[in-house]
Structure 1
């Protein structure tokens, strides 16, 4: 299938105009809606159903910033391959400390300590977002160099890790 950004005739960017994305989605949805095809043409109906599903998949991916970043990294071959998803020892150490704090909270009812841990996770997420902003800006300005893409990948992996930690925190406590 075709590149998701090309399918909606949008630039490959991290920050997208959400209204423009929605407009392109609605246009493609009308174009490929199965009701627009005569029911007597089975091949055309099957194609319309396939394209309608693809249109929905493209919109779902591009309308979510994290999924959009993941897709951009996939387009550039920077996620999925062995050895590409490694994080710095410093980050892993901080995450390990946070995980230990979460485990300790499971055995004690300390609302203040819970708030401290949750605030630290939020602060950590905010810090990695700030660190990545220069990479996002450079990418959107057309710099698709390896260092920029690696900075985006680093953000993506850290954010995903912290999101899972936050979900675990909310489930466990």
Structure 2
């Protein structure tokens, strides 16, 4: 069962956070290991596993970048430790930002990173906002993948 099925939510790149929280508390109330102290060992172990899965799913789905990564993995478009090849132009920009950081120009670098994040998000904003299972194309998801890796680079700076 994937995280979306567990929380009874449609697959999306932007889960409804209020619905996510509501489902989380409902699932935790139902499967929390403390509710199974009188149960058999097998039932206690199952409750522990389900509770851990609920926590992992909630942590993933409440984090925007982790949700994007998770959906891309569900679609078979991203592997766990994938080494993604970004364009040389983008890598040069990142290298220049790292040089600015080493020079201690923090005000300039923060503004530049924010500007770059906006630039890389604009082409995929509509895809992320309007994602629909079965309608959003693989080509569009590959654009989101490119954005995901670029953003990861910028976040590391």
TM-score if structure 2 supplies the norm length?
Answer: 0.90
- Give the 3 Å change call, closer, same or farther, for CA 102–153 of structure 1 in structure 2: same
With CA pairs under 8 Å and 6+ residues apart, which has the higher RCO, 1 or 2? Answer: 2
Q: Could you say which residue in structure 1 is the equivalent of 2:126?
A: 134
Distance 1:133 1:93 in 2: 24
Aligned to 1:55: 54
Q: Which moved more, 1:75-84 or 1:147-156?
A: 75-84
CA distance in 2, matches of 1:66, 1:137: 13
Report what 1:109 is aligned to.
none
Question: Which structure has the greater CA radius of gyration?
Answer: 1
Query: Within 1, Cα distance between the matches of 2:3 and 2:15?
Result: 13
Gaps of 5+ in 2: none
Do 1:70 and 1:79's aligned partners in 2 also have CA atoms closer than 8 Å?
A: yes
**How far apart, in 2, do the equivalents of 1:17 and 1:51 lie?**
22
How much does 1:40 deviate?
4.8
Q: Let me know the Cα RMSD of the aligned residues.
A: 1.9
SS at match of 2:103: helix
- What SS does the corresponding residue of 1:10 show, helix, strand or coil? coil
- Is contact 2:14-2:67 (8 Å) kept? no
User: How big is each residue's C-alpha offset from its partner over 1:106-162, in whole Å with a ceiling of 9 and x where there is no partner?
Assistant: xxxxxxx42112110111112212222022134247533121111110111111110
Q: Note the 1:47-126 alignment, pairs <5 A.
A: 47-80=46-79, 85-105=84-104, 113-126=105-118
Tell me by how many angstroms 1:18 deviates: 0.7
Equivalents in 2 of 1:141, 1:53: separation in Å?
Answer: 26
Cα distance change, pair 37–83 in 1 and its aligned pair in 2 (3 A) = closer
Structure 1: where are the runs of 5+ without partners? 106-112, 166-173
Shift of 1:39: 2.7
Structure 1 contact 138–148 (Cα < 8 Å) conserved: no
Q: Is the 8 A contact 1:14 1:69 kept in 2?
A: yes
Partners of 2:127 and 2:136 within 8 A in 1 = no
Give how far 1:7 is off: 0.9
